[in-house]
Each structure stands twice: as structure tokens, then as C-alpha cells.
Structure 1
Amino acid sequence: MTRYCVDPVRHELIATWGTGEGDLATRIATVPTGTDLAALSRLAGALTQLSTAAWRTYTHPASAADSLEVNSEGWRREEERKAFDEVTAAVTTPNLPQGGSMIVEYSPVLENAHRVGRALIALDIPDLTEAIRAETTVELAAVESAELGDLTGRAQQAVLLSREGASPAQVSAADRLLQEDPFGPAALYSDIDPTAAAVAAAHWLYAAAEAVSEASGYAPTEVIREADNIEALPHATPTLVLELLDNGVSPYDAVTGLVRHAMRVADGVLPDPAAVREQLDEDEEMIIEYDDDSEEADDVLTGIRLTPLDPRRPAHDLLEDLLTGINGCWLLHQEYAEDEDRDDDEEESDDETAERHQHHSRAQFAALVRAIAADNRDRLV
């Protein structure tokens, strides 16, 4: 979301937003000296809340809901997105108190637009009002651009957000980046929506798992656990994704399902009570083996998780784990692949030889993964 703030020295209203490589800022308006800064701060707060509500329509799209029937969650999301068309009118002519009462909109987007309008009336600065009308148009246009997969300009802040769905354009862009570097280039974090990047990464992880499976004899669903014996890895989530893909779930459904589940947990909802009950039953059976006062029993109880992802940043967490999983596949592949690059050149130090060998090994593995990913591209699209 875009955050709005006040520079009390320069009497400026400023908009700031994050990107994958730091924050950006722009001046929205300069107000006359003597302007009530408290009132200007209230305007900044209302604008921030409007931006938050608008970007929620991006992170929680109607297309990701189970149903679009009237009064369903999907229907409410759809109606909220339609409210964009009424924002300018709400800012221009907001609801005002009449007869001791005031209309309050059900839509967070619309209600916050009315709050912006009321804050502008309180300030009564025509130039500021015009600047804010233009600013709200820019902000909503950024959300619309992100929905279409265009993360340029202010829409770049979408790279910091977890989304329940993924734009096909963004998935394709992530896939192209992984073709260049199957281990995950930096641009995957700075230029791509993290959910879309994770969808593509899941496809490439499975290709990497198949590559090492052929060399090692382990099933694709077992390779990350085996790699964990070589180097400590967050193996649980990548293994879960591999199991889903191995059972025929598409990368899109596997990733968006996990992200959506974690986002609902972050919203204070328990998405799958039956699964939690099953986990509790399994843990209770394990606890029976321990004494009531044992630390092991406490560890089991406190280790119960509602989601395998970090609910504060689920898409980013998943993307990081999947890329780490690809690296883990390479580690295991090294153990079984024939070493064609080592020599006993006495002029090179051991470190130089090891570095050269590692570079060659990664390049060979990347080429192998590219071939498998290309042969199975239908799994991604």
C-alpha cells in the first residue's frame, strides 16, 4: 500500500511506497504556511486507509474466492472492486452529517474515500483538493496495472504483497527469469509478484527434483529431505509442494492454495479445522510416549503450526523455500553426478579448484533442469 505523511517543516503532503529494492516517495502537494497540520495529518491517514482498502482488492481478488454467488465472499470482493468507479465522486462530494446522523458505506474503499473528502472540506484548500483527486486516480490506476501483471511505476509495490491469485503475465515473466537462472535471480524478488514467482519456482523445483531423482535413485518427493543431510535446509515446505505436484496438483493450485490458507490464518480464520484436529490427535499419541513434565512433550505441543508458511509474508516465505529447495537439489545431485571437472593442476590452489568445480557443477545442473522444465512446460501453463 501507499503510505501518506506530512512534512511539517516544508508543509508538504508526501506519498511513499515500497519496492523490491527500497522505498520511493513523491510530493503530492504543498500547503500554505499556517495550515492546520493536525487536519493535514488526518487527511494523510485517510489516504493511507484508502490505499490499504484498494490494495486489498488486489491481494484478495474475487477470482480466488470459492463462489461469486450473492452475499458470498467472492461476491463481496467483486462489489468492493467495482467501488473503484465511485471513488472520485466520493472524494468530491462526501457523505456529511445531516440531522445528527451520517451515512456510512459498507465498502471500505468507498467509506475511506468519503473520509478523504471530508478531510479535504475541513482543510478547504482548492489546490490541495485537486491534487488529491489526481492522486487517488493514480493510486487506483496502480492497483489496476498490478492486476494486469504490469508492475511498473507505483504498481511495483505489488512485489511486497502476498496475493491469493497470480497473474498469468507475471507467472510467464517469472518463468523467463528462471530460464536464465534456475537458482533464482535477484529480479525474481524485485520485479515479480511473489505468488506468481512462487508458481513458476514450484514448476522449476519439480524439474530439479526429477533431475536429481534420476541421478540418485530417490523419489522426487524425497530429494529435499536427503539434501537436508548435506546442508541444513527448510525442507518441509518444498517437500509438501513436491508431494502436491507429484499427486497431479498444478503449480498454480499448489502455490495459491498454500498462500491463501496462510493469508486466512493471518486474518484470524482457521481454514481447515479438520486438519488441525488430525494434527492434534497425532501429537497426542506422540505425547503419550513422554512423561507429563518432559520438555519433549512441551516441544510437541508448542510446535503445532496452523500453516507451514509465515502468515505475515506467506508468498515471500514460500518463494524463498522453493528456491532454497532448488539449491538443495543441486547439492544432492553433486553427490551422485560424475565429476568431470576436477584435475590435479598443481598451479591452482585447492580453493580455486573447488570454486571452478562448483561453478561447472551448477552450470551443468542448470542446463539439465532447463531441459526437463522445457519438456514439461505444459505443467506450468
Structure 2
Amino acid sequence: MQPRTRYSVDLHRRELIASWGTGEGDLATRIAALPDGAGTSTLLGLARTLSQLSDAAWRTYTRPASAAPSLEPNSEGRRREEERKAFAEVAGAITGPNLPSGGAMVVSYSHLTESANRIGRALHDLDDSDLTKAVLTESATELAAVESAELGDLTGRAQQAVLLSREDASPVQVAAADHLLQQNPFGPAELFLAVDPTATAVAAAHCLAAAAEVAAEVSGEHPTQVVLEADNIEALPHKTPTLVLGLIADGATPHQAVTGLVRHAMHITDGVLPDPTALREQLHDLEETLGDYTDEDEPDLEDIELRLTPLDPKRPARDLLEDLLAGIHGCWLLHSEHASLDTDEDLGRAEDWDDEQAEEHQRRSRDRFAQRVRETAAQHHDRLI
């Protein structure tokens, strides 16, 4: 379930509450006092429709029209474009909702507009002018948070974007993540607290490609295989970093590699199989592999599980980011395994090191590796933008 602002009712204090996630935990605020005479079901209905509005608004952020293959009439891209334009209709729908008339009622095709109409109908039943004003202010605050996130500003209410997977990556956010990775290629905590995870994964993929090149120079391995080789030193989630390195080696940009994987996983989350042909080929390859192992022309696939995406479909962008940073760590492991220790001669023989000397060697090794990654990433900076 995608995070968004959640609205709830405090029955003891008779208050409407909003809460939302950040990279460090959840925040909450009081929206308004609730009328004393209103029933619990009516109040919960208002809270539920506000949550639906937040869902619809943030969906325009996570699935922007820019990420759709076409903006032609009746296309998915055009539908997304129209849904984003519906922000301008929210206030009017809340104050003047479609109401039942003659046993029928007009229902909007737009999820956002219809959510606003439902809020308006709930407020119409409650008939409290102060509550209506507070809800109008709150809906404007929520929509403004989405607009801020679109511009790459993840402060205030827009902080919840750090928990969302997005089909596209803001250049502003990619630049912010790249700056943090230049300071610490292993990935500082700020990456998870202040930057959109899809954009951060783009910058991390660029950094991983540089780290793989550095590790390949000293190990003799191909850059696309260094994380897989590092898995022999320490258990690593090597499949996804290796896949990303392969895509970049084949000519994809970090942006293309990352957004393609995240978009595919988000479609799976929506219950959509975006590439049936690729799945058919995957099944064919699996059947051939099983046939080679079992010597059967038609091996039994009943007990075989096949992943539709290498990412966690509940949190694809953050899952990808975590794996890419693990891949950078793996590149350092391989680099440390093969790099010369000449610069650490002052520490004496490795077999004689105490814990403090071993920690000092590790610190120096990470610092040397980080500097080489910075230099290599800077040489290929055009790949990032």
C-alpha cells in the first residue's frame, strides 16, 4: 500500500486528525473540531474520503504524464495529464458537490474530482461551516505538497514523497542525491530522509557504475560481474545491482535503467503485466533450464516460483536503492581484497594487526576507494544527466 496522508477521527476529543509518513517516522496534525451531534459513521466517512483524495492526488505524482509512452488522445498519458489538471476543480467540488437528484447522481470519471465530490457530500450532510473551511484549507495544503514534490522540494508535508516510488525522476532530486553520494559514495542516511527514492536510485546507479569500474581495474573482473564476485566475500543482494550494471553496459543511462525497473514493478503492483512477451521468454528459458537438469522434455513447473519483478512491489524504488548501495559496498569489498596494501606499510604486517590497526586499515581502504569512485563518477558525469 502506497503511503499518503491518512485522516482519522479522535472520538474522545471530537477532532479530525491528519497524519503522514516521513523518512524518520509519522507526523500528525489537528485539522478541525468535529460537530458534537454527528454520528461516528458520518465522521469516518469524511475521514475516508479525505484519504481517498490524498491517494488520488499523490498518484498524479508517482505516475506523471511525463512517464507515459504517449500523450495522444485517449492514451494513458493524456488521462494522467487530465487528472493532474483536475487539481483546479477540487475546491469547487468540495463546496458545490454533485448531489443526488431524481434518484440519480452525476459521477466524475476523474478519481480526484470524484473524491472531492464525496468530501463535499459528507460536509453537506454535516452542515458545519467552520468544518468546511478547515477541510478546504487542508485539501489545499495537501495539493500544494504534491506540487512542491513535483518541483523537487520535499520539505513540509511533501516529505512523504521520500516513501513513494515514482515512475520518473526529478532532475533537481537527482542532483541532490548525486551531491550526497559525492560526499559519501557508500550512501549517507540523508539519502533516505530528504530525497525522492527513484531519483536517489538514479544517482546511486551512476555511482555503482563508477564503483564497478574501480573494482574491475584491480580485480580483473568485468565491471558487470564485480558485485556477483563480491558475493563470494560477503553475502549480498547481487542480482539487482548486476542487472543494473548490465543495462548500463548495454547503453542504458542510469535514468533509463532505474525508471524502467521501477515502472515495471509499479505496474505489477497495479495488477498489470506490462510485457507478456518477456514473461513468455522467461518461462521458456526456465523450462529449458529445468529440462537440462531433469532430462525431461516437458518438466513440471507446478512447484516452481517465478518472480515477476526483481524489486519489492510494495516499495520498489527504496528496495532498488538499498540494493544499489549494497552493490557499491560489494565493489569496495572486492577492491579491498585485491588492492595493494603498500600505502598502509606504517601499520606493520597485516597478520600482526590488533583491532585498532585493523579498523584503521579498513577506514583508509574505504577512503581510498571512495576517492577513486568520486573521480571515476566525475569523468562520466554526462552519463548521469
| TM-score normalised to structure 2 length | 0.95
- Alpha-carbon deviations, 1:148-178, whole Å to 9, x = none? 1000000000000000001000000000000
| 1:376 aligned residue | 380
| 2:369 aligned residue | 365
| 1:76 aligned residue | 79
| 2:206 aligned residue | 203
CA 1:301/1:257 → structure 2, altered by over 3 Å: closer, same or farther? farther
User: 1:358 and 1:253 mapped to 2: Cα distance?
Assistant: 34
Higher alpha-carbon deviation: 54-63 or 36-45: 36-45
Identify which of 300, 309, 312 aligns with 2:314. Answer: 312
| 1:229 aligned residue | 232
For the residue of structure 2 that corresponds to 1:222, the secondary structure is helix
CA contact (8 A) 2:287 2:301 kept: no
| 2:218 aligned residue | 215
Mapped pair 1:355 → 2:359:
yes
Q: 1:28, CA displacement in angstroms?
A: 0.2
| 1:4 aligned residue | 7
User: 2:348 and 2:6 mapped to 1: Cα distance?
Assistant: 59
Q: 1:141, CA displacement in angstroms?
A: 0.3
| 2:166 aligned residue | 163
Where do 1:174-323 residues align within 5 Å?
174-291=177-294, 302-323=304-325
The one-letter amino acid paired with 1:332 is L
| 2:125 aligned residue | 122
User: 1:160 and 1:299 mapped to 2: Cα distance?
Assistant: 36
| TM-score normalised to structure 1 length | 0.96
User: 1:185 and 1:244 mapped to 2: Cα distance?
Assistant: 25
Q: 1:320, CA displacement in angstroms?
A: 0.5
Q: 1:214, CA displacement in angstroms?
A: 1.1
| 1:97 aligned residue | 100
- Alpha-carbon deviations, 1:316-375, whole Å to 9, x = none? 1110010000000000000111112252399x9621111111111001100010011111
User: 1:290 and 1:338 mapped to 2: Cα distance?
Assistant: 42
- Alpha-carbon deviations, 1:3-47, whole Å to 9, x = none? 000001000000000000000000000124333222111100000
Quick one: percent identity of the two aligned structures? 65
User: 1:216 and 1:365 mapped to 2: Cα distance?
Assistant: 13
Structure 2: gaps (5+ residues) = none
The one-letter amino acid paired with 1:248 is G
Identify which of 62, 71, 74 aligns with 1:59. Answer: 62
CA contact (8 A) 1:283 1:301 kept: no
User: 1:38 and 1:278 mapped to 2: Cα distance?
Assistant: 51
Identify which of 126, 133, 137 aligns with 1:134. Answer: 137
Aligned residues: 377
Question: Superposition RMSD on alpha carbons, in Å?
Answer: 1.7
CA contact (8 A) 2:226 2:334 kept: yes
CA contact (8 A) 1:225 1:239 kept: yes
- Alpha-carbon deviations, 1:128-151, whole Å to 9, x = none? 000000100000000000001000
User: 1:7 and 1:362 mapped to 2: Cα distance?
Assistant: 51
For the residue of structure 2 that corresponds to 1:42, the secondary structure is helix
For the residue of structure 2 that corresponds to 1:48, the secondary structure is helix
Higher alpha-carbon deviation: 333-342 or 264-273: 333-342
CA contact (8 A) 2:173 2:196 kept: yes
The one-letter amino acid paired with 2:262 is V
User: 1:165 and 1:380 mapped to 2: Cα distance?
Assistant: 14
CA contact (8 A) 2:162 2:195 kept: yes
Q: 1:289, CA displacement in angstroms?
A: 3.6
Higher alpha-carbon deviation: 139-148 or 302-311: 302-311
| 2:336 aligned residue | 334
CA 1:265/1:327 → structure 2, altered by over 3 Å: closer, same or farther? same
CA contact (8 A) 1:90 1:114 kept: yes
Structure 1: gaps (5+ residues) = none
| 1:106 aligned residue | 109
User: 2:220 and 2:70 mapped to 1: Cα distance?
Assistant: 43
CA contact (8 A) 1:36 1:123 kept: no
Where do 1:32-43 residues align within 5 Å?
32-43=35-46
User: 1:71 and 1:380 mapped to 2: Cα distance?
Assistant: 33
For the residue of structure 2 that corresponds to 1:14, the secondary structure is strand
CA contact (8 A) 1:209 1:221 kept: yes
Higher alpha-carbon deviation: 32-41 or 72-81: 32-41
CA 1:232/1:3 → structure 2, altered by over 3 Å: closer, same or farther? same
The one-letter amino acid paired with 2:361 is H
